[in-house]
Amino acid sequence: MISPTPLMSLVAGVWGFKTLAVGVELGLFTRLAGGRTITVDQAAAEFGLAERPADLLLAASASLGLLERAGDGYRNSELAEQFLVEGHPYYFGGQIRYSDLRTYLPWHRIADALRTDRPLTWDPQSQQSMFDTSDPEMISQFWDAMYSTSSFTARALAGAYDFGAHRSLLDVGGGAAAFPIELCRHLPHLRATVLDLPHVLVRAEQRIAAAELSGRISTVAGDFLADPTLPGGHDVILLSMILHDWDESTNRALLAKCHAALPPDGAIVICELLLNDERTGPPEAALMGMNMLVETEGGRNYSGAEYAAWLAGAGFVDIRTVAFDAPGANGAVVARRP
């Protein structure tokens, strides 16, 4: 007999997210780094909580796979130790904090976005884009979120697509340089350039310097939408989590610029959460599409077949899709300029 239990799981989804978010906010997982165990009484004392909420937080975190039982206390699960301890290479807390503070409350008004086809996290009448803001805290949250999502996604991409034949990568809209940093760490021969707006490149240059890759990763200021051309001299162009921000005509125009900027046999890599061709899933891609309704004017998530059609229209050949598992993408559509 069919049961409404799956619907209850959807209802409880927000409870799980907020449990995760408050654990990150409190620094719970960072405090438990390195195998430390904490009891309910210790958690209550350290976080200034009564016994009941401390007990409920630890039990709920364990139920979500974030903590595990260890004697009379709890310790980080492997998942939390790898991705929720601040300072670890693939720390994911930036994405969690941004989602909690920036997009969670606007999602409560998702019906408004459906009815008006307008974003909820910024005002198109007074701002040029979601990035047009004088709030430095929001900007910091956004780029921390993008970096925490992108760094592990770049690692997964490096395992799925062979960059070994390439020597010079252009990361269009590369943000804080997570992809070039990760790829250059794994590929000693690779050099990279990050193209983005001037104020974004300040953060990118800080990340590049901290990674000690300033000699191999450069930056160039530009607007990939407004500029008539893209920088040349690269044999592979990366568009990672970029095209879902824009509508089809904008994306087709950008792909034409990529084609013009590449040499013969140069490659393009589109890294995204791809919908299946039937547009029925997977959930992470379809729900990211709904998030584009909240955060953008024309963005949506697309299928691999849609990207393939646009690439062919721009003159690319040998179009194929490689699949992988990562928080920011589930695959990449790759093609070659003949």
pLDDT tens digits, residue range 125-154? 877 766 655 566 667 777 788 888 999 999
Average pLDDT, stretch 15-44?
98
pLDDT tens digits, residue range 208-236? 999 999 999 999 999 999 999 999 999 99
CA distances for 32 relative to 21, 25, 68, 76, 337, angstroms: 16, 14, 11, 6, 50
Instruction: Grade residue 199 by pLDDT with cuts at 50, 70 and 90.
Output: confident
Instruction: Look up residue 97 and give its two tokens.
Output: 């904090």
pLDDT tens digits, residue range 264-313? 999 999 999 999 999 999 999 999 999 999 999 999 999 999 999 999 99
Instruction: Grade residue 45 by pLDDT with cuts at 50, 70 and 90.
Output: very high
Q: Which domains does the chain have, with CATH numbers?
A: 5-83 (1.10.10.10), 147-336 (3.40.50.150)
Of the residues 166, 234, 244, 259, only one is catalytic, namely 244
pLDDT at 315: 98
How far apart (Å, rounded) are the C-alpha atoms in residues 257 and 249?
13
Q: Is 244 a catalytic residue?
A: yes
Q: How many CA atoms lie within 13 A of 43 on its CB side?
A: 26
Cα torsion through 327, 331, 337, 338, rounded to 10:
160
- Give the DSSP per-residue string, 250-305: HHHHHHHHHHHHSPTT-EEEEEE-PBPTTS---HHHHHHHHHHHHH-SS----BHH
Cα torsion through 140, 142, 148, 150, rounded to 10:
-130
Rg value, the chain, Cα:
21
CA distances for 67 relative to 25, 80, 85, 152, 277, angstroms: 16, 7, 12, 21, 37
